[in-house]
Amino acid sequence: MRITVVRLISQIFFMGLFFFFCFVTQFSYLKGYPVSIFLEVDPLVAIATAITTHTLYQGLVWSLVLLIPTLFLGRFFCNWICPYGILHQFTGWLFNRRTITENIDSNRYRKVFALKYYILIGMGGAALFGSLQIGLLDPISLLFRSFTVAVLPTLDMPTEWFYVRPHVHQLGWVVGFLLFFLIGMNLVIPRFFCRVLCPLGATLGLLSRFSLWRIHRDTDKCVDCDLCLQRCEGASDPHTNLRKSECFVCFNCIDDCPHDALSFDFMPDLKGEVAGPQISGRRAVMAGLIGALSFPFSRRSGDVDELFKKEVVRPPGSVAEDAFLERCIKCDQCIRVCPTNVLQPAMLEGGIEGVWTPIMNMRTGYCELNCTLCGEVCPTGAIQKISIEQKLGIGQFTDLGPVKTGTAFYDRGRCLPWAMDTPCVVCEEVCPTSPKAIYSREVEITNRWGEKVVLTRPYVDPEVCIGCGICEHECPVQDHRAIRVTAVGETRSKERSLLLGMSGGQEGCCGGGGGSSSAGGGCGCSSKKESSGLLQIDATESA
């Protein structure tokens, strides 16, 4: 069996595995499958989050194992395992109508291929200051986000296979357009994303320069026919001086060489080989400065109005906002698994830095009381794994209270009993807490016709409200709801306390929504200190 056939089998297996995990990432099928394993073995995710948080999240340790075969073989991940790379190779093959000569010319190395290294340096510069932006172009995060926000909701419309209820997502058309644009660019430059933009490929390319096995060209046998270029996936110039940092270890060049001039050898003579990427030192410094300066620009973009950020309601179990932005890679796995469609990719609600991070939109759904799936699938700990008991503040967590994502507030100018003398108790009926956070008082009023009317007017008890948003979702008032949830009063941050002295509930790892390994939540936190009603936890989830 030829090695290229083995590679093809590997590609089919891992692409099928990715599709399977995409399908089962929902509450009715999840059943313990490691649906985020592709993200957890992504070295760029591990390295970037380690830079921003100064720790290595336990679930990402496996990604370091992937670096070992990279140091032996080179960038094998890009063409053997990466589902996004496999997708680009397949579409490039499917729509390729070039002649052999055109294929050879299209697979020669170009200077624009160095752009991915500058992108990596820029994102690394931002990460040094705590801004995690690698998820914008990381191929695994990008593919999961594309399927979650655009592809699966579209496929679900005629089939209803993927969701219990139809899901819609803001910015879905942007994500879908970006997916088709990057795939369509394969018609212009084969493997355009992988060769030009991919920061993960750049990371592996930097490491592969030290690999022990390499493509070796026997100059005595080579007749300079250039046929090895007709299917070269990485445009690594195997016909002259091999560019090891660009080689995808696809073995197509060895398979296509009619004179057996190419072989994959252990520590061959490196004479004439271009081991590392050819990048300009000045451009690299400029890319790093741009990345560093992007941190204050993007971080302050959401602070123009203090109330603006109070509208950013994060999923239950989320760490404090600054720590959240240091961990969230925008993969949108939490959005995919959410059964009620309440989680949405953010636009500019939390500033430029928070684009595509998950926020709760109570118009599209609400936070199910007995659901903690978003924390189960989060690969970086931006949303901590918490148990149902911890979320509800019951059992051993009774003294701490429930995890709150925000507080509901009435707009009495729009509420039917308050503004229009019309009876309505929908919000009180659907409130899931016990005792109910929404209660009512009967009042006798005189309407405009001089008639005495008894109305039941609702109120919110902020001590009991957990910010689940079902009241806002079910409110019969169209347009702007008469009751709305904001992040005020959330328990992941003291800065958003509703009133001075009100701490209420639990504050979790890294200042966020909390977690306890003893409760089965998987947070891995070891020490607990109670102060003013807050649970302060020292995170040992980091390795």
- For residues 170-181, average pLDDT: 92
Q: How far is it, in rounded angstroms, from Cα 149 to Cα 345?
A: 8
Question: For 514-537, what is each residue's pLDDT tens digit?
Answer: 333 333 334 433 333 333 333 333
Neighbours of 226 (CB within 10 A): 19
Element at 460 (helix H, strand E)? strand 452-460
Q: Would you say residue 172 has pLDDT above 70?
A: yes
- Bridge partner residues of 486 (DSSP): 407
Structure tokens at 30: 């999840």
Q: How far apart are the first and last CA of the chain?
A: 41
Residues 6+ apart with CB under 8 A from 2: 255
φ and ψ at 409, to 5 degrees? Answer: -130, 145
Burial class for 111, CB neighbours closer than 10 Å (0-12, 13-18, 19+): exposed
Neighbours of 64 (CB within 10 A): 15
Mean pLDDT, rounded, of the chain:
86
Domains of the chain, with CATH numbers? 407-486 (3.30.70)
Q: Would you say residue 539 has pLDDT above 50?
A: no
The band of 30, judged by pLDDT with boundaries at 50, 70 and 90, is confident
What pLDDT score was predicted for residue 322? 87
What pLDDT score was predicted for residue 127? 93
The band of 506, judged by pLDDT with boundaries at 50, 70 and 90, is low
* Cis, bond preceding 435 (omega within 30 deg of 0): yes
Burial class for 173, CB neighbours closer than 10 Å (0-12, 13-18, 19+): exposed
**Cβ(261)–Cβ(290) under 8 Å?**
no
Residues 6+ apart with CB under 8 A from 63: 40, 41, 42, 43, 45, 46
Neighbours of 356 (CB within 10 A): 23
Question: For 290-326, what is each residue's pLDDT tens digit?
Answer: 999 888 887 776 555 444 566 789 999 999 988 999 9
Question: For 103-148, what is each residue's pLDDT tens digit?
Answer: 999 999 999 999 999 999 999 999 998 889 999 999 999 999 999 9
| Higher-pLDDT residue of 51, 400 | 51
Query: CA neighbours within 13 Å on the CB side: how many for 398?
Result: 3
- Bridge partner residues of 445 (DSSP): 453
Question: For 408-452, what is each residue's pLDDT tens digit?
Answer: 999 999 999 999 888 899 999 999 998 999 999 999 888 888 888
Strands of 200-347 (E only): list them. 213-217, 262-266, 343-345
The band of 158, judged by pLDDT with boundaries at 50, 70 and 90, is confident
Structure tokens at 50: 């380690």
Q: Quick one: DSSP state of residue 385?
A: -
Q: Quick one: DSSP state of residue 319?
A: P
Q: Is 408 left (phi over 0), alpha (psi -120 to 50) or beta?
A: beta
